Amino acid sequence: TGKSYVERVVLRAIKNDIAIYAIHTAIDNSEKGMGKGMCDALALNDREILIPKKGSIKKLTTYIPKNEVLGVRNALFAAGAGNIGNYDHCSFATKGRGSFKGNENSNPTVGEKGSLQVEKEVQLHITFEAHREQTILKALFKAHSYEEVAYEVTTLDNKNQTIGMGMTGFLEEPMDEMAFLRLVQKKFNAQGVRHSALREEPINKVAVLGGSGAFAISAAIKAGADALITADLKYHQFYQAEGKILLVDVGHYESEQFTKRLLTDFLRKKFSNFAIVLSDEDTNPIKYL
């Protein structure tokens, strides 16, 4: 209807044949997303996800004829399975014997229908990210020779090391708190920086979470961060620092400003012959004196 700013933007885009692609929550959870932009601004090293996403890792267990293991396993690796942190091609296999007997409608690859068959097989375990499940199963069925492939997919409680909210990293050199706050204000181009009480301790490990990040305070403390850079902290939430961490509020817009540059760089690498225009429009609704 055009009653709000967002509605007017959508209407204008429609009238000018412009597509809008909104990826806010998805890019919040990507290791190459908002957290990366904040870490890049401060040149943080040894980065890790602050709050790894749970329930996003699954495990495939399947049973493969002994002479087909290499082919099936490589097909699963090619489909994106077997990645754990900084390692790929991860799997575990155990030898055993599988039994089966096909009914009259079966068409067994090994043995005869109606006869009990016992085969030397290998039980293969391999993990994958949940969003790849259909691709992984398609690769399994294509590479496996059996008419009916025996397999199990289970959801793990393991934390995903590459998907989640916020990131942590280390400064090149520890800094005193005031120097750190001035650096943050400069790198984030913030008109003002709100922070909790100084601890009189050097800042070395830093946690970042773009946007409203008060929910990450306890996670940042648990991670051993000396400071948490985020936005939209309320009055009473500053008390949660409890002298254990320096809370730094740079502003919502300021904490998310690097995202459009990340998207631009990503698209230019993917589509080298595609012209990309990055708007310099300041859409921050908050103004300062």
User: How is residue 17 written in tokens?
Assistant: 């044949």
Region 221-236: mean pLDDT is 98
With a pLDDT cut of 90, the percent of the chain lying above it is: 78
Is 184 within the bounds of a domain?
yes
User: pLDDT tens, 133-187?
Assistant: 999 999 999 999 999 999 999 999 988 888 899 999 999 999 999 999 999 999 9
Q: Which domain holds residue 193?
A: 21-51+164-270
Region 226-243: mean pLDDT is 97
Is 188 within the bounds of a domain?
yes
Q: Answer yes or no: do 31 and 168 share one domain.
A: yes
Q: Answer yes or no: do 95 and 30 share one domain.
A: no
pTM of the prediction? Answer: 0.82
Q: Answer yes or no: do 149 and 192 share one domain.
A: no
Q: Answer yes or no: do 257 and 191 share one domain.
A: yes
Is 240 within the bounds of a domain?
yes
Q: Which of 166, 169, 170, 193 is nearest to 182 (CA)?
A: 193
Is the pLDDT reported for residue 105 higher than 90?
yes
Looking at 137, 155, 173, which one is the last position of a domain? 155
The CATH number of the domain where 262 resides is what?
3.40.1390.30
Q: Answer yes or no: do 190 and 248 share one domain.
A: yes
User: pLDDT tens, 56-88?
Assistant: 999 999 999 999 999 999 999 999 999 988 899
Q: Answer yes or no: do 244 and 101 share one domain.
A: no
pLDDT of residue 159: 84
d(CA 150, CA 61): 9
Is 9 within the bounds of a domain?
no
Q: Which of 219, 215, 208 is nearest to 250 (CA)?
A: 208
Q: Answer yes or no: do 147 and 203 share one domain.
A: no
Is 119 within the bounds of a domain?
yes
Q: Answer yes or no: do 248 and 204 share one domain.
A: yes
Is 3 within the bounds of a domain?
no
Q: Domain count of the chain?
A: 2
Region 220-246: mean pLDDT is 97
Is 285 within the bounds of a domain?
no
Q: Answer yes or no: do 151 and 170 share one domain.
A: no
Is 11 within the bounds of a domain?
no
Q: Answer yes or no: do 104 and 202 share one domain.
A: no
Q: Answer yes or no: do 149 and 176 share one domain.
A: no
* DSSP output for 115-150: S-EEEEEEEEEEEEEGGGHHHHHHHHHHH---SS--
- 25-29, 91-95, 124-128, 228-232 — which is least confidently predicted? 25-29
pLDDT of residue 215: 97
Residue with tokens 């990826």: 23
Is the pLDDT reported for residue 96 higher than 90?
yes
pLDDT of residue 24: 78
Residue with tokens 């495990």: 59
Looking at 125, 155, 185, which one is the last position of a domain? 155
Q: Which of 148, 244, 163, 151 is nearest to 196 (CA)?
A: 244
pLDDT of residue 25: 78
Q: Residue 6 is inside which H or E element, if any?
A: helix 5-15
The CATH number of the domain where 125 resides is what?
3.30.70.120
pLDDT of residue 210: 95
User: pLDDT tens, 242-281?
Assistant: 999 999 999 999 999 998 888 888 888 888 888 888 888 8
Q: Answer yes or no: do 150 and 177 share one domain.
A: no
